[in-house]
């Protein structure tokens, strides 16, 4: 069977296609500073192969080699299995069924954290495969698109001087973005530094461009309330992750004390984790990284957010493979707010897949081709493949 011949369910519920391999492939730039909280410099790609000659790709933003071990491990017993051996021989179109089976087969080690991350990458690859086999874009299989494009913001690591941040902000506006975000170190250390960093960005972009701030877990609740009130004068779009992700009481205190929207969610990977953030933490913007939740769970989490009247944004700071999966997700939910698009100058992050994400007037275009609509470039995969 070739990709031009869609799989047709042959008998009963069986598509006739079988998974033949699940690989976790580690890609990494040759040299970088691990002290920066920047996940754009390495990538864990999941490749699911089938006997139909069609291949699906996913990505995981986690600890790459731990994910690889979870995929490659042999079974220890019925609820401590490796994901590869569980999936080989199965029907790839049983995407939600396979999520359930992976969850049950890893109960001893999983249920949260890195096992869910590994499942997420496989889940994305299975949706990509299903789309290719059925000749449909993933957003159609997720239930139908609400949009063909979505406003994107240029997402940056904070630079270490106000001038360097202003330069990044101006570059984003020149590239057509109508919103920018800056995050993590050196932000959050003291009020004077924070005011200097944000005022330089606001001055560089003017009043018409939205500026979101990612505090990168910098504060306790009391400091967060004081600092957010100080930064209100710069009219940020939102304040992201002001607190440690476990400090739900703190999140609630902050949400009740300030007017600016509070965004969070990238540290969560389960539906229950997101429910706690929404119901106990009272966050205003729900940020979902599909390479940690999978598309299957992301749809349910977005539904939980919708039920609470909350908007959803993606969290994406790895490659355009993650960005493409996120765009199908954002297309398929009614409560999508905006798309995070990482603009860090990582050759791996920007050039892993082709075609890249297309931006028109600061809006990311939802891919319309079968599957995710992007494909990893074999030459880039070879160039950055980490020898393990």
Complex with Mg ion: residue 42 or 91, whichever CB lies closer: 42
Contact pattern for Mg ion over residues 180 through 219, marking x by CB under 5 A: ----------------------------------x-----
Q: How far is the CB of 135 from Mg ion (least distance, A)?
A: 36
Residues between 213 and 242 that touch Mg ion (CB under 5 A): 214, 240
Q: Does the footprint of Mg ion cover residue 91 (CB under 5 A)?
A: no
Q: How far is the CB of 47 from Mg ion (least distance, A)?
A: 27
Q: Report which residue's Cβ sits closest to Mg ion.
A: 214
Q: How far is the CB of 60 from Mg ion (least distance, A)?
A: 17
Q: How far is the CB of 267 from Mg ion (least distance, A)?
A: 9
Residues between 238 and 277 that touch Mg ion (CB under 5 A): 240
Q: How far is the CB of 112 from Mg ion (least distance, A)?
A: 19
Complex with Mg ion: residue 63 or 368, whichever CB lies closer: 63
Q: 133-159 burial by CB neighbour count: b if 16+ within 10 A, else e?
A: bbeebbbbbbeebebebbbbbbbbbbb
Q: Does the footprint of Mg ion cover residue 289 (CB under 5 A)?
A: no
Q: How far is the CB of 151 from Mg ion (least distance, A)?
A: 18
Complex with Mg ion: residue 123 or 214, whichever CB lies closer: 214
Complex with Mg ion: residue 55 or 155, whichever CB lies closer: 155
Q: Which residues bind Mg ion (CB under 5 A)?
A: 214, 240
């Amino acid at each position: 069977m070739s990709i031009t011949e869609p799989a047709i369910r042959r008998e009963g519920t069986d598509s006739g296609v079988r998974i033949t391999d699940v690989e976790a492939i580690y890609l990494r730039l040759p040299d970088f500073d691990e002290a920066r909280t920047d996940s754009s410099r390495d990538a864990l790609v999941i490749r699911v192969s089938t006997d139909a000659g069609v291949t699906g790709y996913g990505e995981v933003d986690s600890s790459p080699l731990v994910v690889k071990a979870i995929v490659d491990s042999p079974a220890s017993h019925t609820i401590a299995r490796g994901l590869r051996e569980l999936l080989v021989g199965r029907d790839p179109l049983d995407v939600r069924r396979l999520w359930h089976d992976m969850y049950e087969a890893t109960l001893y080690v999983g249920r949260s954290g890195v096992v869910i991350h590994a499942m997420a990458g496989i889940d994305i690859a299975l949706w990509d495969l299903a789309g290719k086999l059925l000749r449909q874009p993933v957003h159609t299989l997720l239930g139908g698109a609400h949009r063909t494009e979505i406003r994107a913001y240029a997402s940056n690591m904070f630079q270490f001087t106000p001038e360097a941040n202003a330069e990044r902000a101006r570059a984003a506006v020149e590239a057509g973005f109508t919103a920018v975000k800056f995050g993590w170190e050196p932000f959050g250390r003291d009020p004077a530094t924070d005011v200097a960093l944000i005022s330089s960005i606001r001055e560089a972009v003017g009043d018409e461009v939205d500026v979101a701030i990612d505090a990168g877990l910098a504060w306790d609740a009391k400091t967060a309330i004081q600092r957010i009130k100080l930064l209100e004068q710069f009219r940020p779009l939102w304040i992201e992750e002001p607190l440690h992700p476990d400090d739900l009481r703190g999140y609630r205190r902050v949400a009740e004390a300030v007017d600016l929207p509070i965004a969070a969610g990238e540290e969560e990977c389960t539906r229950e984790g997101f429910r706690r953030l929404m119901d106990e933490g009272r966050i205003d913007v729900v940020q979902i990284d599909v390479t940690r939740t999978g598309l299957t769970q992301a749809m349910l989490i977005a539904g939980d957010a919708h039920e609470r009247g909350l908007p959803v944004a993606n969290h994406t700071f790895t490659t355009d493979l993650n960005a493409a999966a996120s765009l199908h997700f954002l297309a398929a939910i009614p409560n999508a707010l905006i798309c995070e698009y990482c603009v860090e100058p990582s050759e791996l992050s920007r050039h892993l897949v082709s075609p890249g994400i297309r931006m028109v007037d600061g809006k990311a275009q939802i891919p319309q081709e079968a599957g995710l609509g992007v494909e990893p470039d074999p030459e880039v995969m070879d160039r950055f493949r980490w020898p393990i």
